[in-house]
Amino acid sequence: MPSPSATKRPWVPKIDPQALALAMARKGYTQPALIRKCQELGVKVSSGNLHRTLHGKPGALGTSKLPAIAEALEVDVAELLTAFGKTVASENAGQPT
Protein backbone atom coordinates (compact mmCIF):
# COMPACT_ATOMS: atom_id res chain seq x y z
CA MET A 1 0.00 0.00 0.00
CA PRO A 2 1.44 3.40 -0.94
CA SER A 3 2.26 5.84 1.81
CA PRO A 4 -0.26 8.68 2.37
CA SER A 5 2.20 11.21 0.99
CA ALA A 6 2.54 9.18 -2.22
CA THR A 7 -1.19 9.33 -2.92
CA LYS A 8 -1.63 12.97 -1.98
CA ARG A 9 -1.95 15.38 -4.90
CA PRO A 10 0.95 17.80 -5.20
CA TRP A 11 0.40 21.36 -4.06
CA VAL A 12 -0.73 23.54 -6.94
CA PRO A 13 -1.01 27.31 -6.60
CA LYS A 14 -4.53 28.68 -6.90
CA ILE A 15 -5.47 31.81 -8.79
CA ASP A 16 -7.37 34.17 -6.52
CA PRO A 17 -10.41 35.41 -8.48
CA GLN A 18 -10.66 38.62 -6.46
CA ALA A 19 -6.99 39.45 -7.03
CA LEU A 20 -7.37 38.76 -10.76
CA ALA A 21 -10.49 40.94 -10.98
CA LEU A 22 -8.77 43.75 -9.07
CA ALA A 23 -5.73 43.63 -11.35
CA MET A 24 -8.01 43.73 -14.39
CA ALA A 25 -9.91 46.70 -12.95
CA ARG A 26 -6.66 48.59 -12.29
CA LYS A 27 -5.72 48.24 -15.96
CA GLY A 28 -9.29 48.91 -17.12
CA TYR A 29 -9.39 45.54 -18.88
CA THR A 30 -12.54 43.65 -19.68
CA GLN A 31 -12.32 39.89 -20.16
CA PRO A 32 -12.07 40.23 -23.98
CA ALA A 33 -9.36 42.89 -23.60
CA LEU A 34 -7.28 40.65 -21.33
CA ILE A 35 -7.70 37.73 -23.73
CA ARG A 36 -6.53 39.92 -26.65
CA LYS A 37 -3.52 41.14 -24.69
CA CYS A 38 -2.54 37.57 -23.79
CA GLN A 39 -2.87 36.58 -27.46
CA GLU A 40 -0.52 39.46 -28.36
CA LEU A 41 1.93 37.89 -25.90
CA GLY A 42 1.54 34.53 -27.66
CA VAL A 43 -0.63 32.79 -25.07
CA LYS A 44 -4.13 31.59 -25.84
CA VAL A 45 -6.61 32.11 -23.00
CA SER A 46 -10.16 30.95 -23.55
CA SER A 47 -13.03 33.19 -22.53
CA GLY A 48 -14.78 30.29 -20.78
CA ASN A 49 -11.77 29.41 -18.65
CA LEU A 50 -11.14 33.06 -17.76
CA HIS A 51 -14.80 33.44 -16.80
CA ARG A 52 -14.70 30.31 -14.62
CA THR A 53 -11.49 31.49 -12.94
CA LEU A 54 -13.06 34.87 -12.16
CA HIS A 55 -15.97 33.00 -10.58
CA GLY A 56 -13.73 30.90 -8.34
CA LYS A 57 -13.54 27.61 -10.24
CA PRO A 58 -10.19 26.10 -9.20
CA GLY A 59 -8.02 24.86 -12.02
CA ALA A 60 -10.09 26.46 -14.78
CA LEU A 61 -7.09 28.44 -15.98
CA GLY A 62 -3.81 26.58 -15.98
CA THR A 63 -1.01 28.08 -13.95
CA SER A 64 1.21 27.79 -17.04
CA LYS A 65 -0.68 30.80 -18.43
CA LEU A 66 -0.12 32.91 -15.33
CA PRO A 67 3.14 34.56 -16.44
CA ALA A 68 1.45 35.95 -19.57
CA ILE A 69 -1.61 37.07 -17.63
CA ALA A 70 0.59 38.77 -15.03
CA GLU A 71 2.62 40.44 -17.78
CA ALA A 72 -0.54 41.65 -19.51
CA LEU A 73 -1.82 43.09 -16.23
CA GLU A 74 1.62 44.45 -15.26
CA VAL A 75 1.59 42.67 -11.90
CA ASP A 76 3.76 40.06 -10.24
CA VAL A 77 2.51 36.49 -10.58
CA ALA A 78 2.41 36.21 -6.77
CA GLU A 79 -0.24 38.96 -6.65
CA LEU A 80 -2.62 36.71 -8.56
CA LEU A 81 -1.98 33.81 -6.21
CA THR A 82 -2.70 35.61 -2.96
CA ALA A 83 -5.87 34.56 -1.16
CA PHE A 84 -7.39 35.41 2.19
CA GLY A 85 -4.33 37.20 3.51
CA LYS A 86 -1.97 34.33 2.66
CA THR A 87 0.95 34.75 0.36
CA VAL A 88 2.15 31.97 -1.88
CA ALA A 89 5.06 31.43 0.52
CA SER A 90 2.82 31.08 3.60
CA GLU A 91 0.28 28.92 1.77
CA ASN A 92 3.09 26.68 0.57
CA ALA A 93 4.75 26.45 4.00
CA GLY A 94 5.41 22.88 4.96
CA GLN A 95 4.88 21.60 1.43
CA PRO A 96 7.68 19.62 -0.21
CA THR A 97 9.67 21.49 -2.82
Confidence of residue 11 (pLDDT cuts 50, 70, 90): low
Over residues 22-56, the pLDDT tens digits come to 999 999 999 999 999 999 999 999 999 999 999 98
**All domains in the chain, ordered by first residue:** 14-81 (1.10.260.40)
pTM above 0.75, yes or no: no
Q: Is 31 within 8 Å of 47 (Cβ atoms)? A: yes
Distance CA 81, CA 90 (A): 11
Distance CA 54, CA 23 (A): 11
Packing angle between helix 66-73 and helix 31-40, nearest 10 degrees? Answer: 110
Provide, for the chain, the percentages of residues in helix, strand and coil under a 3-state DSSP scheme, each rounded to the nearest 5.
Answer: 55, 0, 45
Over residues 43-89, the pLDDT tens digits come to 999 999 999 999 988 778 877 888 999 999 999 988 888 654 454 44
pLDDT of residue 90: 47
Which amino acid, one-letter code, is at 40? E
3-class state of residue 86 by DSSP: strand
